[in-house]
Amino acid sequence: MRRSQRKNRLIVFLVTAAFASLALYLLFKFGPQLRTLLEAQMGGLASQAETIVKVLQLVSLGILAYLLVRALNSFIFGLVFRLRSGFEAPTLMRNVFSIVGFTVLFLLIFSYFFPLVNLGALFTTSAIFGVILGLALQDTLGNFFAGISLQADRPFQVGDVITVGSQRHTGVVQEITWRAIKIRTFQNHIVLINNSSAAKEPIEVCPRENLNARLVYFSTLYTDSPAKTIHVVREAVREADNVSDRITPIVRIRNMGDSGVEYELKYWLNDYAKYNDTDALVRQRIWYAFRRAGLNFAFPTRTLHLERKPRPGLAEGPGGAITDRLAAVDIFAPLSAEETVMLAKASVSHVFAPGELVIRVGDPGSSMFVVHNGRVSVQVTENGRPRTVATLSEGDFFGEMALFTGEPRTASVIALEETEVLEIGHEAMKRVFDTNPDLVESLSHIIAERRQGLVARTEASSADSDESAGLLSAIRRFFGLG
Residues found near ligand CMP in the complex (CB under 6 A): 359, 365, 378, 389-390, 398-402, 409-411, 413, 450, 453-454
Work out the angle at residue 374's Cα, subtended by the Cα atoms of residues 421 and 251, and round it to the nearest 5 degrees: 110
Instruction: Report, in Å, the least distance between residue 300 CB and ligand CMP.
Output: 44
Instruction: Report, in Å, the least distance between residue 285 CB and ligand CMP.
Output: 41
Instruction: Report, in Å, the least distance between residue 451 CB and ligand CMP.
Output: 7
Contacts 24+ apart (CB under 8 A), 233-240: 233/263, 233/265, 233/286, 233/289, 235/289, 236/285, 236/286, 236/288, 236/289, 237/265, 237/267, 237/282, 237/285, 237/286, 238/267, 239/285, 240/278, 240/281, 240/282, 240/285
- Of 193 and 378, nearer to ligand CMP (C-beta) is 378
- Of 286 and 359, nearer to ligand CMP (C-beta) is 359
Instruction: Report, in Å, the least distance between residue 340 CB and ligand CMP.
Output: 20
- Of 261 and 411, nearer to ligand CMP (C-beta) is 411
- Of 182 and 450, nearer to ligand CMP (C-beta) is 450
- Of 297 and 479, nearer to ligand CMP (C-beta) is 479
- Of 343 and 392, nearer to ligand CMP (C-beta) is 392
Cα distances (angstroms) measured from residue 214 to each of 243, 250, 270, 470:
10, 11, 11, 63
Instruction: Report, in Å, the least distance between residue 333 CB and ligand CMP.
Output: 18
Q: DSSP character for 78?
A: I
Q: Which residue is nearest to ligand CMP (CB)?
A: 453
- Of 136 and 460, nearer to ligand CMP (C-beta) is 460
Instruction: Report, in Å, the least distance between residue 392 CB and ligand CMP.
Output: 6
Q: Do 394 and 373 form a contact (C-beta atoms < 8 A)?
A: yes
Instruction: Report, in Å, the least distance between residue 387 CB and ligand CMP.
Output: 11
CA atoms within 13 Å, Cβ hemisphere of 431? 14
- Of 269 and 424, nearer to ligand CMP (C-beta) is 424
Task: Please state whether beta strands 367-373 and 419-425 pair in parallel, antiparallel, or not at all (unpaired).
Answer: antiparallel
- Of 92 and 448, nearer to ligand CMP (C-beta) is 448
Q: Is 379 helix (H, G, I), strand (E, B) or coil?
A: strand
Task: Please state whether beta strands 250-256 and 180-185 pair in parallel, antiparallel, or not at all (unpaired).
Answer: unpaired
- Among 359, 341, 342, 361, which Cα is nearest to 350's? 359
Q: Is 172 helix (H, G, I), strand (E, B) or coil?
A: strand
Handedness of CA 326, 329, 332, 333 (dihedral sign): positive
DSSP string, 20-63: HHHHHHHHHHSHHHHHHHHHHHTTS-HHHHHHHHHHHHHHHHHH
Instruction: Report, in Å, the least distance between residue 336 CB and ligand CMP.
Output: 25
Q: Do 160 and 207 form a contact (C-beta atoms < 8 A)?
A: yes
CA 123 to mean position of chain CA atoms: 56
Phi-psi region of 155 (alpha: psi -120 to 50; beta: other; left: phi over 0): alpha
Cα separation, 271 vs 212, whole angstroms: 8
Q: Do 265 and 249 form a contact (C-beta atoms < 8 A)?
A: yes
- Of 169 and 450, nearer to ligand CMP (C-beta) is 450
- Of 160 and 423, nearer to ligand CMP (C-beta) is 423
Task: Please state whether beta strands 180-185 and 190-194 pair in parallel, antiparallel, or not at all (unpaired).
Answer: antiparallel
Instruction: Report, in Å, the least distance between residue 448 CB and ligand CMP.
Output: 11
- Of 295 and 401, nearer to ligand CMP (C-beta) is 401
Instruction: Report, in Å, the least distance between residue 368 CB and ligand CMP.
Output: 7
Work out the angle at residue 103's Cα, subtended by the Cα atoms of residues 100 and 105, and round it to the nearest 5 degrees: 105
According to DSSP H, which parts of 328-392 are helical? Answer: 337-346
Instruction: Report, in Å, the least distance between residue 350 CB and ligand CMP.
Output: 15
Instruction: Report, in Å, the least distance between residue 466 CB and ligand CMP.
Output: 19
Strand partners, 375: 393
